[in-house]
Amino acid sequence: MAKSSSTGGTKVTIYDIAKIAGVNPSTVSRALGKPERVSTKTRKLVEDAAAELNFRANPLARALLTGRTGTIGLIVADITNPSYFDMIRGAQSAAAAHGMTVVLAESAESASTELMVAQRIQPSTDGIILASPRMSDPEIRRLNATKPVAVVNRSVEGVDSVVPDVEPGISEAVRHLASGGHRRIAFLSGPDSSWLSARRWESLRSACEWTGREALLISTAAPTTEGGRRAARDVIASGATAALCFNDVLAIGLMRELQAAKVKIPEEFSVVGFDNIFGSDFTTPALTTIASPFSEAGSTALSLILADLSSAEGGPLPAEPAGRAALPTSLIVRGSSGRLLAT
């Protein structure tokens, strides 16, 4: 693991770093190759000494030595969807705290593309986070059998999964709409292959049944603003007076089209989004939405992969069995939802 320094082209070794840091060479090796196995204080001593000598570890050499690359792959379904921004940041922050890096890729909502990308990046990463994956459960389990996989926004048996607990947020939303006199509530669905869209629809239907409301399922062309626009006519034709949308961008598209048709929001129609993305309160009126803890989802997924890696190397077992990480959702009431003019 010797590397060139900036002093006359000489080679810097772990013995040089150990001398300055005041630790054993083996400790330097662990700090550089497996930083999670040394204390924060020791890692800082080694990093400072390495920086003083202008030492930069070669990731390929470290991978050969330790079997670890120090990188985690993160594949998202749609890189333009703002709901993934906080998830990416949460995963990267957790990775950086362990001396690791997240590499990002996109599947463009395609199961086949997603599998191809995962297979391509898996050899050069220590594990993969799949955000809202579209591939099948058996395909995900096969990936997990090679290297650790953590799934976000979906539950896959035998694979670490981080899923939002949608029931609290949706129940709040239905009670909020019911108190405003809404009796027919439409759900604008996500992609047919979305596990999470199905869970949200089931939760809405259950909440409506409990409160004596009618739930209506409306399919959309895509989980985008354009998809929301295109669904507007079906929403109005359904007789619903309120809509819960699969995500905020769908909700924003729906609002725009309804307003273009001179439908007053919320006096004549209420709109509720999902995810509380950045900018969801920039609309007029500001969008009522159900908040999902995306940053925590990213950091939790990263932690699950690190726990699996530690377990594989003889470290402590993960604190939670696969599939047990559930994060709560909550309603944020803004101006796009309220009481009907005539109830």
Domains of the chain (ranges plus CATH)? 3-66 (1.10.260.40), 71-163+294-325 (3.40.50.2300), 165-292 (3.40.50.2300)
DSSP class per residue in 56-81 = ---HHHHHHHHS--SEEEEEES-TT-
Provide the token pair at 38. Answer: 């040394």
Task: Give residue 180's Cα distance to chain centre.
Answer: 32
* Cα dihedral 273/340/176/153 (nearest 10): -20
The predicted structure's pLDDT at residue 58: 60
Per-residue pLDDT tens for 254-292? 999 999 999 999 999 999 999 999 999 999 999 999 999
* Cα dihedral 327/328/334/336 (nearest 10): 80
Vertex 278: Cα angle to 273 and 283 (nearest 5): 60
Provide the token pair at 138. Answer: 């058996």
CB-CB contact of 111 with 118 (8 Å): no
Element (H, E) at 172: helix 166-179
Checking phi first, is residue 301 left (phi over 0); if not, alpha (psi -120 to 50) or beta? alpha
The predicted structure's pLDDT at residue 76: 95
CB-CB contact of 323 with 159 (8 Å): yes
Count other C-beta atoms under 10 Å from residue 298's C-beta.
29
Provide the token pair at 54. Answer: 């202008």
Provide the token pair at 42. Answer: 């020791």
Count other C-beta atoms under 10 Å from residue 5's C-beta.
18
Q: Are strands 242-245 and 270-275 parallel, antiparallel or unpaired?
A: parallel
The predicted structure's pLDDT at residue 1: 41
CA distance linking residue 225 with residue 228, whole number of Å: 5
Q: Spell out where 287-324 has E strands.
A: 288-291
Single pTM value for the model: 0.77
End-to-end CA distance of the chain: 74
Per-residue pLDDT tens for 62-121? 554 556 788 999 999 988 888 899 999 999 999 999 889 999 999 988 999 999 999 999
Name the 3-class secondary structure at 216. strand
The predicted structure's pLDDT at residue 288: 98
Residues in the chain predicted with pLDDT less than 50, given as ranges, are 1-8, 64, 316-323
